[in-house]
Structure 1
Amino acid sequence: METVPVWLRERRTGVGRPAERSRAEVTAAAIALADREGLTAVSMRRVAAELGTGPASLYRYVDGRDDLLDLMTDEVAAGYQLSAPGGPWLPGLLAVCRQGRDLMRRHGWLPELVLTRSALGPHGTDLLEHVLAVLAAHPASVGHKLEAFGVMTTLTAALALHELNAGAAQRQGAYLAHVVAAGRHPHLAAALTGGPTTPAPRFEDTVSRVLVGLLGE
């Protein structure tokens, strides 16, 4: 099993005709396919078809689908607009999270990859460097700062995925209404029906409370 990250591997030259594509073109084709048809559509065969070539030709650039997924995730991270750090740390991190949320809503397949795979390529490393720069003056340990980066990324993905799955939330609400009517879960019924409800917290509120909990005021 290949343990060297795809970004550190040399492109294979192969034999016969020289390569007609680049790793960037392969990545762009995979992203376009996932945007159009979802993550399950991404395979070596389908990406090769997007490029008008045979699957075997892709092995000059990647070892398989896992490489494609890592390249896709990192390439989307190029979409962050990382301005020079300055000012309080929390607004700086929230700005990153808002951009991440926008990217994940634009590429509906991305939250799943962020939540299930650990891939940090060139653009992801730039993002981590930016977050650490925002936190440079913060007294927290390096370990806690790295933990905050992981948590903010994961939480952003989870919240974006929840927003993208609006249909599932509606089905959940319908089932909870049935449960309340059945009368076998009194605490849940009280929580859902016991007077005025507080509006669901905004994205920024949720992320802020978690980050302050991790790093302090």
Structure 2
Amino acid sequence: MVPFPKDLNFIGRTDVLEAMQERFRNECNVALAGIGGVGKSQIAIHYCYSYQVQFPQRHVFWIHAGSTTRIDEGYRNIARGLSLPGWREPATDIHQVVDDWLLSVDNGPWLLVVDSADDMSVFFAAEPDIPGTKPQPITVFLRRIAQSSHGSLIITTRDKRLGRRLLNGSQPVEVPLMNDEDAKQLLRARGAGSSPAEVDTQALRLGEHEFSIGHLEDLF
């Protein structure tokens, strides 16, 4: 259930992917943290497709967490894809139905990506006259599955603090800007630059700006 096609021009990011693999050897969750446009979602997409090749019988789910509305849509899509009871009914508590399915050991292993978890207020509601914040239901659920043994969780976020809070204090894997060699390979793969000198110039710009890797034409 990855809502994006596989990027056939995905280049590099070996250090981040290796850090993810190392984390998954010891834990069932990882947060990818970095500035907007640095490529966190692209790395998660690449990991999902690699996971499906390695484990073709396992489920892969994706929730865009930019807002409560998008989270609700993600839950609804999971319920529809699994044909869970009541998914068509507006009165059904879709969050509870999906949470119950994911938390059942009978339904694992699976991989869930929670993408663009950038807004603290989506996951923690302010409590009037009470210090601190109250976890939203989605946060309580993520903390529970982060400790599960039958599912794997990837979170992408611009906010390292939020990543740590969602994963019970686990330190996020930081996603840096592309290094020079990876940037050059990506540009060549996408046909950018008519000469080696032009590729070098564009690669320098690529490494100095936050950008959407999927929309390189907007940068040049």
Q: TM-score, normalised by structure 1?
A: 0.26
Structure with max Cα Rg: 1
Q: TM-score, normalised by structure 2?
A: 0.26
Give 1 or 2: higher strand fraction: 2
Greater relative contact order structure (CA < 8 Å, 6+ sep): 2
Give 1 or 2: higher helix fraction: 1
